Amino acid sequence: KGDVLTTKLLPPLLHTMLTFISLSIIFLLMRLLLFQIIDQEINPHVDKWEEEGMFPAHKIFKVLGNAGFLGVSKPVEYGGLGLDFSYSLAVAEELGNIDCGGIPMAIGVQSDMATPALARFGSDELKKEFLQPSIAGDLVACLGVSEVGAGSDVASIKTKAVRDGDEYVITGGKMWTTSGAQADWMCLLANTSEGLPHKNKSLICLPMNLPGVHVARKIDKIGMKSSDTAEVFFDDVRVPCKNVIGQEGMGFTYQMLQFQEERLWGVANILTMMERVIQETIGYTRQRKIFGLPVLYHQTVHFRLAELQTEVELLRALLHQATALYIRGNDVTKMASMAKLKAGRLARELGDSCLQYWGGMGFTSDVLVSRFYRDSRLMSIGAGADEVMLSIICKYMDTLPRK
| Banded model confidence at residue 241, pLDDT cuts 50, 70, 90 | very high
Give the span between the Cα atoms of 236 and 231, in whole angstroms. 17
Q: What is the pLDDT of residue 15?
A: 52
Q: Are 157 and 191 in contact (CB under 8 A)?
A: yes
Between 229 and 153, where is the model more confident? 229
Q: What is the pLDDT of residue 25?
A: 80
Q: 324-366: per-residue pLDDT in tens?
A: 999 999 999 999 999 999 999 999 999 999 999 999 999 999 8
State the catalytic residues.
262
In the chain, what percentage of residues exceed pLDDT 90?
90
Mean pLDDT across the chain? 94
DSSP three-state, residue 1: coil
Please count the other Cβ atoms lying within 10 Å of the Cβ belonging to residue 104. 28
Phi first, then psi: what are they for 111, rounded to 5°? -95, -30
Q: Is the pLDDT of residue 202 over 70?
A: yes
Q: What is the pLDDT of residue 402?
A: 86
Angle CA(74)–CA(269)–CA(274) in degrees, nearest 5? Answer: 170
Q: Is the pLDDT of residue 270 over 70?
A: yes
CB-neighbour burial class of residue 398 (10 A; exposed 0-12, middle 13-18, buried 19+): exposed
Q: Are 228 and 54 in contact (CB under 8 A)?
A: yes
Phi first, then psi: what are they for 185, rounded to 5°? -155, 160
Q: 11-53: per-residue pLDDT in tens?
A: 555 556 656 667 778 778 888 999 999 999 999 999 999 999 9
Q: What is the pLDDT of residue 6?
A: 45
Give the span between the Cα atoms of 189 and 245, in whole angstroms. 10
Q: 372-394: per-residue pLDDT in tens?
A: 999 999 999 999 999 999 999 99
Q: What is the pLDDT of residue 34?
A: 96
For residues 190-195, average pLDDT: 95
Q: 100-115: per-residue pLDDT in tens?
A: 999 999 999 999 999 9
Give the closest residue to 44 by CA, choosing from 103, 99, 106, 101.
99
108: left (phi over 0), alpha (psi -120 to 50) or beta: alpha
For 133, half-sphere exposure in the C-beta direction (CA atoms, 13 angstrom radius) is 14
Q: 54-73: per-residue pLDDT in tens?
A: 999 999 999 999 999 999 99
Give the closest residue to 131 by CA, choosing from 81, 182, 78.
78
| Banded model confidence at residue 229, pLDDT cuts 50, 70, 90 | very high
DSSP structural state of residue 250: B
Q: Is the pLDDT of residue 187 over 90?
A: yes
Give the span between the Cα atoms of 374 and 183, in whole angstroms. 24
Give the closest residue to 70 by CA, choosing from 144, 143, 139, 145.
139
**In sequence order, which ranges of 80-219 are alpha helices (DSSP H)?**
85-95, 102-108, 116-121, 124-126, 132-136
For residues 297-313, average pLDDT: 98
Q: Please report, for residues 73, 88, 261, 352, 389, the alpha-carbon distance to residue 321 in angstroms, rounded to integers and kept in the order given.
A: 18, 15, 14, 28, 18
Q: Which residues pair with 161 in a beta bridge?
A: 170
Q: What is the pLDDT of residue 24?
A: 74
DSSP structural state of residue 220: P
